[in-house]
Amino acid sequence: MADSGNPDSEPTTRTLLRRVLDTADPRTPRRPRNARAGAQRALLETPSSRRLSSQTKMTARRRSQRTKSIGKLAHVQASGHLEEQTPRTLLKNILLTAHPLLAVSAAPESSIVMPESVVKPVPAPQVVQPPRRESSRGSLELQLPELEPPTTLAPGLLAPGKRKQRLRLSVFQQAMDQELPLSQEPHGNADASSLTSSLNLTFATPLQPQSVQRPGLARRPPTHRAVDVGAFLQDLRDTSLALAPPDTVLEDTQPFSQPLVGQSPSVHHSLPCPSHSGAEDAERAVSHRTRSSGPRLQNNSPGKPAQLLAGRAEEVDALAMSFSHSSSSIFGEVAVEPLQDGVGEEAEERMEESLSMSKVKEAARAQGSARAEEPEGHTQVTEAEGSQGAIETKEPEGSSGDVDTSGRTVSPELAASTLEFLQAKQLQCLEPAPPPSTAVLPLEPLSARLPPRARTPGPKPRQGPYKTRLSHYAKLFSFYAKMPMERKALEMVEKCLDKYFQHLCDDLEVFAAHAGRKTVRPEDLELLMRRQGLVTDQLSLHVLVERHLPLEYRQLLIPCAFSGNSVFPAQ
Amino acid sequence: MAVSTTVSQRKHIKRKAPRGFLKRVFKRQKPHLRLETSGDLLMHLNCLLFVQRLAEESRTNACENKCGVIKREHVLAAAKRQRLLLTGISM
């Protein structure tokens, strides 16, 4: 092989060409080196060369990282002229025919530019092609006559060509950077793919700044908070399932966590976790409930007297919850409605109301022992299972009847179930199993506690649902911070929020008084935000609303014109 | 016609504003005042922005102290700065 003039620092090239030589199909006649067009035709005509090209492709990929290897066309070309030519001349032919656009190898002998698809004219590179091709051709033609006899001069001539081609490579890369990479060669060599992938990367990035440059039009950031709430709910569920100790105030954000010391975990386990989105959550909760309610009911029965004796509103609510749980466990209903829609004061209010309703019904029935039986009745139902049929018949009636009484979406069913339980117990099981009789006595003082409990809404609910709401914002804080936080830090955040709310209300009062009003209007809010520096002349309130609030609230806040010459909300 | 003031039943709003809570807080603080319908939404917006600023500030504090965790001192310092910078009337 005429390698003297061609310092083959890359044996792979030689092996490549040797392979090509060995397996070359001598069908294609040797074309004159200058006949680039002919070479192209040869490229097209050689089907077998494709096989060779595949082989050469593989080897090319191997060395492609360094050489930015020979393309298919090059190999095809090489194969076409195999018999007569030496590896060097083959390479030269490749250079001739190759599209001198793509990368030039660092290796000396492989000043082979990656052939662009000469067959497939790529419009973008073609702009760059002709000058390069000409120049390369020129340089090659200079070299070629001297290559006939392989001489040592060729490498010297190759060098300037290489340099030129290397320069052209940089120019080409710049040109490519400016233009999008068009249809990539199917014979995507690894280099080609890597190059284009790198180019693709560079193309990807310019698209982004365009949106960044126009922040005013940018929509609000992605909805991470949805995930956060979901994680929050998941935490609730997990804590409720995992028997969270009562001292983890922050995690156990159940509304009744604080007042209930011993029984709260057990009660909460029976509580279904709130889930807006998932029936699956409810199902899971129900399954947990059914699992837990069985053993829990036993615990609850002795625990309930203690709870009620403590005389807290939340306990009664917990009782109601447990009633409903027992009912659901008995009937196997999937009370999908989450008990804690708002995780907090609403549930509490509902429960209070339902209990008050139940109390009213009890009073109406004028059965003194009924009240005492209330707490135990449900447990007894589970235990006795004797009144199941009767209760089931009562259940649907009661649920339909009590929907309007309690007036809430969730609580009607539960309240109905609880009420129906009471009614059923009263009507049919006046004397259920022996345990209730024993439990009646300790429960009688509970009934005495029931009325006063309704009158203590002030300080107690302040703790429970207020804390949950604050922790709602605290979780938002931990989300916005994007860093792990200590528990004490979260408590501090809650304190700050508390103070913030106080300041907020004071400010609003001052603003409303300044306007001579007794109602705080959105204008006062806007003035407050302006004073805080959130709303500026550049940044209007509407933009903030659009960014941070969900769409439904935006509709309520920003006046928008509708059909019929109407604007909503009215100004 | 105009859009209904209430959200349709099955609509699930993510990142809901705790309107009841906000209304109740206001009522507790200022029972002699009334809060309008959209007022609590803007209050919620204000809270969000406040929390955001606070979080940003505490994160900066924590990073300055080269902590990987936000501690309560960072939060406290951030809150103090907020109080100072805010040009509220009663602050």
Render pLDDT for A524-544 as a digit per residue (tens, 0 to 9).
888 988 888 888 888 888 898
Q: How many CB pairs under 8 A join A and B?
A: 200
At a CB cut-off of 8 Å and minimum separation 6, what does A231 contact? none
* Residue B69 amino acid letter: V
Residue B18 contacts A, CB cutoff 8 Å: yes
Q: Check CB contact under 8 Å for A532 and B86.
A: yes
CB nearest to A507's CB, from B11, B71, B88: B88
Q: Give the minimum alpha-carbon distance from B48 to chain A in angstroms, rounded to a whole number.
A: 8
Instruction: Give the pLDDT confidence score for residue B61 in this predicted structure.
Output: 87
pLDDT at B1: 52
* Among the partner residues B16, B35, B89, nearest to A510 by beta-carbon distance: B89
B22-55 confidence digits (pLDDT tens): 888 888 888 888 888 888 888 889 989 988 888 8
| A481 interaction partners in chain B (CB closer than 8 Å) | 55-56, 58-59, 70
CA A455 – CA A313 distance, rounded (Å): 9
Q: Which of A508, A518, A519 to mutate to test the interface with B (most CBs of B within 10 A)?
A: A508
Question: Is the CB of A521 less than 8 angstroms away from the CB of B24?
Answer: no
- A469 and B18 within 8 Å at the Cβ level: the answer is yes
SS (H, E, C) A196-213: HHHHHHHHHHHHHHHHHH
B74 phi, psi to nearest 5 deg: -65, -45
Distance CA A454, CA A105 (A): 86
Segment 54-73 of chain B within 8 Å of chain A by CB? 54-56, 58-59, 62, 68-72
Per-position DSSP letters for A356-409, written without gaps between them: HHHHHHHHHHT-HHHHHHHHHHHHHHHHH--SHHHHHHHHHHHHHHTHHHH-SS
- Position A551 scores a pLDDT of 84
Is A227 within 8 Å of A235 (Cβ atoms)?
no
Q: Quick check: A30 and A84 in contact, CB under 8 A?
A: yes
Q: For residue A567, list its beta bridge partners.
A: A561
pLDDT for position A476? 83
| pLDDT at residue A230, rounded to an integer | 63
Backbone angles phi, psi at A254, to 5 degrees: -65, 150
B6 touches chain A (CB under 8 A): no
Burial of A103 (0-12, 13-18, 19+ CB in 10 A): buried
Nearest to B38 among A226, A472, A557 (CB): A557
- Residues in CB range of A246: below 8 A, 6 or more apart: A252, A257, A258, A260, A261, A264, A265
Query: How far is A557 from chain B, CA to nearest CA, in Å?
Result: 6
Q: Do B39 and A521 lie within an 8 Å CB cutoff?
A: yes
How many CB atoms are located within 10 Å of the residue A459 CB?
7
B51 chain-A contacts, CB cut-off 8 A: 473, 476-477, 480, 493, 497
Per-residue pLDDT of chain A (571 residues; tens, 9 = 90+): 444 444 445 567 778 778 777 876 555 555 544 445 444 444 444 545 555 445 555 554 555 555 444 444 444 444 444 555 687 877 777 767 765 554 444 444 444 444 444 444 444 444 444 444 444 444 444 444 444 444 444 444 444 445 555 555 555 656 565 655 544 444 444 444 444 444 444 444 444 444 455 656 666 665 555 555 666 666 666 666 554 444 444 544 555 544 444 444 444 444 444 444 444 444 444 444 444 444 444 444 444 444 444 444 444 444 444 444 444 444 444 444 444 444 444 444 444 444 444 444 444 444 444 444 444 444 444 444 444 444 444 444 444 444 444 444 444 444 444 444 444 444 454 444 444 444 444 444 544 454 555 445 555 555 666 777 777 788 888 888 777 788 888 888 888 888 888 888 888 889 999 999 888 888 888 898 888 888 888 888 889 888 888 888 888 888 888 888 888 877 6
B47 contact partners, CB below 8 Å, separation of at least 6: A473, A497, A500, A501, B22
Q: How far apart are CA A254 and CA A237, in angstroms?
A: 10
Q: What is the pLDDT of residue A177?
A: 58
How far from A417 is each of A320, A354, A367, A394, CA to CA, in Å?
10, 10, 19, 9
